[in-house]
A = this chain, B = another copy of it.
């Protein structure tokens, strides 16, 4: 029997009980934060050795480049080769940048907007309308970029295999649809990994726009919570084989591997796409920070070193995810008021509460001193049409705080559900 089926008397009793629990929660005057997918201090400590790298006498790349001087737009081969091997891509199609792959994604869209892509008939700013596919729920910072450029953002529902391909294939018949956001492995916030079939369909499908681009933001490609690493499908190869060699802008970074915000970003794509990017990036600047790239190459040493580090992260993160899932099950499992994802990697759990109550849950939590990502954040324009989705980010707080926070969130979910049931 779920909360929705309670009769008035039982609902009143439940409400009295949950209100008392909520008052106790508020009385604790908590200050807890589940908002952003930041690594914890424990995770950051894993990579403290990099803070003294590359070291005072060690500034040459393997090919002899003095990394202290200007030059080299593509980044140094030392780190490009390591990353290409880790992701199963050809090194010539992988370039290394500064810390943020988000910066590169912004620039790609901005260059396409101002000047057009290598396959565009005209700059996107001269198109009467640009539309963009947004699998939902998705990553808020992606949607903020396409919002800024005034693109019309079209929702695509997420399934357990990735975006609903029937919807995608219908929408790309419109030539105004120029691209699509994706987080193909351990997605933000669902934790969903696109199936091989989905990857192949995205690579092979026909699109009306000749300059259709998929931003393949592989931010969590090796961010497992288990002993298994996911398969990273080579979408560059798949799309080239299907006759769409320039379809994917493949992004990656070390931000949640070494230190967030001072890592190395990567952009992988066809040679034509990389040349197009370089034609503008070369005017924007003289090249990325090679010293930081060298420090990373020396720190990882090889792909085995990289994977060993990711296992340490899993060791730190997996218990937190387990505690969150256990508390959700224990506190909410009996009431039919919420569903949630059970990811095997990444940084997020996606929690769906009773329709129309997500913003109320976030409000209640805030009043009790628990900061949650704003309701709607996982949707374009921050508008969740069902007011249903909440993104939980378990990584930052220590387990003891996380338990208190999640127990509090569960109380808020139940209280909001009870309020909704009473009103209907």
Contact = CB atoms under 8 A, between A and B. Distances in A.
A261 B286 contact: yes
A290 interface: yes
Interface stretch (A54-62, A301-309, A371-379, A404-412): A54-62
A39 interface: yes
Contacts of A285: 100, 102-103, 106
B291 A68 contact: no
Contacts of A115: 148
B148 A280 contact: yes
A55 B59 contact: no
Interface string A274-307: 0000001001111111111000000000000000
Contact of A102 (B52, B68, B71, B286): B286
A51 B56 contact: yes
Contacts of A145: 283-284
Given A260-B68, A262-B67, A51 B51 contact: no
Contacts of A69: 38-39, 44, 259-261
Contacts of A106: 283-285
Contacts of A39: 69
Given A100-B285, A283-B145, A292-B292, A56 B66 contact: no
A284 B103 contact: yes
Nearest to A59: B51
B291 A262 contact: yes
A326 interface: no
Contacts of A54: 51
A309 to B, nearest CB: 14
Interface string A239-278: 0000000000000000100011110000000000000000
Interface residues of A, number: 56
A36 interface: yes
Contact of A99 (B41, B44, B98, B141): B98
Number of copies: 2
A41 to B, nearest CB: 7
A144 interface: yes
A132 B290 CA distance: 33
Given A58-B51, A110-B110, A285-B103, A262 B44 contact: no
A54 B52 CA distance: 7
Contacts of A289: 98-99, 261-262, 289, 292
A70 B291 CA distance: 20
A125 interface: yes
A167 interface: no
Contacts of A107: 284
Contact of A56 (B48, B114, B287, B288): B48
Interface of A: 36, 38-39, 41, 44, 47-49, 51-59, 66-71, 98-100, 102-103, 106-107, 110, 113-115, 125, 141, 144-145, 148-149, 255, 259-262, 280, 283-292
Cβ-closest 9 pairs across A and B: A262-B291, A68-B259, A106-B284, A44-B68, A262-B289, A103-B285, A70-B260, A100-B285, A52-B52
